[in-house]
Structure 1
Amino acid sequence: MLPQLRVAHPTSDLERIVAMYREGLDLDELGHFRDHEGFDGVMLGVAGGPYHLEFTHRPGHPETTRPSAEALLVFYLPDPQEWHQRCEKMRRAGFLSVPPNNPYWARAGQTFEDPDGYRVVIHHSDWP
């Protein structure tokens, strides 16, 4: 059995970030917690999927450190229509389209950034 992957990101605006990722990546809310040892959080993903994203917020402690431009989540979508639709959903959800730090990602992908500075690449290819 393969392990499941959780990618956790802190945010200063939990509600906004959760809405953006839910809409932009078509993810479901898998769970949430409130005031768990001082933190609030939401897990997004696809039920039964091998990964999920966790977004956390610690009230009274704003996030001020921006991640590196190389801190990426990369989603591979080989179907051209699905890739184009996903990129449009990311824009409509409020993600900014940004030039990638590494030019490799521009050759067959689109890079998006959320308000906290985390980046998502929607790559138009099969998983290598």
Structure 2
Amino acid sequence: MSALIGTHLRVARPTDEIDEIVAFYRDGLGFDVLGEFRGHEGFDGVMLGHAGVAYHLEFTRKEGHRAGRAPTEDNLLVFYLPDRDLWRQAVDRMVACGYEPVPAFNPYWDRQGATFEDPDGYRVVLQNAEWP
């Protein structure tokens, strides 16, 4: 058995657009702000997710450091939403917040999903399927 079973996953990355990133993940995807910090050894940051789940996202900004955009269009976070109504609600929420789906780099994701690009060019797929 892996020592990592039962652990919590934090996906962390820098951003130049912290306020816009928070709006995308909080307002568009419905994540909660789990915590935030300012001026921690030169860094500002925010953690977004849902209480009680085994993952969250962290976005940081450091003054004087340029994070830049995603290196490719195939940098993805994929959320599997098997219930068709819940998937449709999630897609509709994104659109209502002003985020339009973009064509996926890999057409596989367009067959049962909708892909959205965050303010840094990283992509989120809302996939209407079960995780196998």
Q: Unaligned regions of 5+ residues in structure 2, if any?
A: none
CA drift at 1:121: 0.1
Q: Residue type matched to 1:103 in 2?
A: P
Alignment identity in percent?
Answer: 56
Q: 1:90 pairs with 80, 83, 94, which one? A: 94
Within a 5 Å distance, the mapping from 1:1-128 to structure 2 comes to: 2-128=6-132
Across the aligned residues of Structure 1 and Structure 2, the Cα RMSD in angstroms comes to: 1.4
Structure 1 residues 36 and 119: CA distance shift in structure 2, 3 A = same
Equivalents in 2 of 1:4, 1:25: separation in Å?
Answer: 20
CA drift at 1:62: 3.0
String of CA shifts for 1:14-60, please: whole Å, max 9, x gaps.
11211210112211111111111211000011112100011111123
Match of 2:36, SS state, is: strand
Q: Residue type matched to 1:69 in 2?
A: E
Q: Unaligned regions of 5+ residues in structure 1, if any?
A: none
TM normalised by structure 1 equals 0.92
CA drift at 1:91: 2.2
| Between 18-27 and 118-127, the greater mean CA deviation after superposition | 18-27
Q: Residue type matched to 2:95 in 1?
A: R
CA drift at 1:112: 0.5
Structure 1 residues 53 and 42: CA distance shift in structure 2, 3 A = same
